[in-house]
Amino acid sequence: MASYVPHTEAEVASMLAGLGLNSIDDLFGVVPEALRLAAGDLQLPAGLPEADVAGEMARLAASNRTGQELVCFAGGGAYDHDVPAVTRALAGRSEFVTSYTPYQAEVAQGVLQALFEYQTLVARLAGLPAANASVYDGASALVEAVNLATAATGRRSAWVSAGLNPRWRQVLATLTAGRETEIHDVALEGGVTAWHQARALGHTAPAALVLACPNYLGCIDPLAPAVKLADELGALVISVFDPVAAGLLRTPGEQGASVAVAEGQPLGTPLQFGGPYLGMMAVSKDHVRRLPGRLVGRTVDTEGRAAYVTTLRAREQDIRRERASSNICTNETLVAVTAMVQLAWLGTCGLRELALRCARGTRYLREGLLSLPGVEPLVDAPVVREFAVCLPVAPEVVVDKMAEEGFLAGLPVEAGGREGLLIAVTEKRTKAEMDAYVAAMEKVAN
């Protein structure tokens, strides 16, 4: 222990005396015996020179087959979009990469302005008047949105569409459990949320109705029924939206949502084994003071020049303490700046063109797959850039066999008691790749 712990023997003895213990073993005595490592259990190999370790790590890493080696048609919340050189160059500037918490506005005007621009672009995407300077990822943004709704309404439950990403649903269940917030699922019918069935569940009025559009199966799940029901119940509508599909679809705010959240990974962040990602969050004017995390505002300095500051901090947990609805303390500044650069580079027309290319590719590939024997839609609702199909072979088997053909084929999903494969198309996928994918699928699925 002495080799790795900076405390002296006297300091350790003082600590143990203060705790009324005789040894370090006593300190960890609360850990069940079955969970403890005995001497020699690790069976570590002998040390190696640095170059040999690097070579071994490279050998192990080579066993992974990534989206750079396989043609990626997987989605389900993480997408293989193009990251142009301008986004990499600007977001990778040292001023952004090394920036720290911008609480001293006088020395952080650059990053504060970038975050203000990010907030503006997210608010426009969401069709709502205010956005924060990001949270950790899309799933945690949803948790923050539900916390906001419970604080705003005084209620302790949320009705959640079964079309929500199942991993987001797991995060929501975990992080709301400590707040004793009840989460009730609302089933899908034909790929869209059956809100008309929600009342029959017999639950008390919720703080929020949560749905995704497009949902996890890629279907366009209309907000209107949820908004109508929420108005009757006095609840908020939380919309999970796709920042790329936003180039084609009406904004959550236009459709009546009070809160909109999204995963910002498609905006300039490549696939990289699960992170870092970006939680985007926007709200109606009534809920600005409940926004979690950082909020950057524009003001003027003593000489009348534009200046940027963190603002409305009285809503934060470090000041409101037990009355705060969130305990989030930081954000994803660099990933948010990357998304800002990507959105600014694309512009309104560019984002629309990006979404159109994804939608056209989705339609082309879907029609090609449905022409194969035994392949049929998992659900019938309209889709944008992701879709699910039923195959003659188990989807897990298809994924493994398609990898041998050079494709990351998609993700196994289930709906209505049937199994299927969820397939995503981005602007990176060419007609030749899609034709080859259909040909490979015909080979492995029959």
Question: What's the pLDDT tens digit per position in 362-403?
Answer: 999 999 999 999 999 999 999 999 999 999 999 999 999 999
Q: What is the pLDDT of residue 312?
A: 84
Residue indicated by tokens 């298809």: 398
Q: What is the pLDDT of residue 330?
A: 81
* Integer CA distances (angstroms), 101 to 109, 187, 300, 331, in order: 12, 42, 21, 9
Q: Which of 294, 306, 271 is nearest to 122 (CA)?
A: 294
Q: What is the pLDDT of residue 161?
A: 98
**CA-to-CA distance for 42 and 175, rounded, in angstroms?**
33
| Residue type at 129 in one-letter notation | P
Find all residues with CB under 8 Å of 425, minimum gap 6, and list them. Answer: 73, 358, 361, 362, 364, 365, 385, 386, 434
CA terminus-to-terminus distance, the chain: 59
pLDDT tens digits, residue range 113-136?
999 999 999 999 999 999 999 999
**CA-to-CA distance for 404 and 325, rounded, in angstroms?**
49
* pLDDT exceeds 50 at position 332: yes
Q: What share of the chain is helix, strand, coil (3-state, %, to 5)?
A: 40, 15, 40
The pTM of the whole model exceeds 0.85: yes
Dmax (CA) of the chain:
76
Backbone angles phi, psi at 171, to 5 degrees: -60, -45
**CA-to-CA distance for 29 and 238, rounded, in angstroms?**
46
For the segment 90-114, the average pLDDT, to the nearest whole number, is 90
Query: For residues 442 and 368, is the Cβ–Cβ distance under 8 A?
Result: no
Give the pLDDT band (50/70/90) at residue 1: very low
| Domains of the chain in sequence order | 71-81+348-444 (3.90.1150.10), 85-341 (3.40.640.10)
Give the pLDDT band (50/70/90) at residue 203: confident
Backbone angles phi, psi at 129, to 5 degrees: -75, -20
**CA-to-CA distance for 12 and 18, rounded, in angstroms?**
10
Q: Which of 345, 312, 355, 307 is nearest to 133 (CA)?
A: 312
Token pair of 29, please? 């005595």
Q: What is the Rg, in whole angstroms, of the alpha carbon atoms belonging to the chain?
A: 25
Q: What is the pLDDT of residue 419?
A: 96
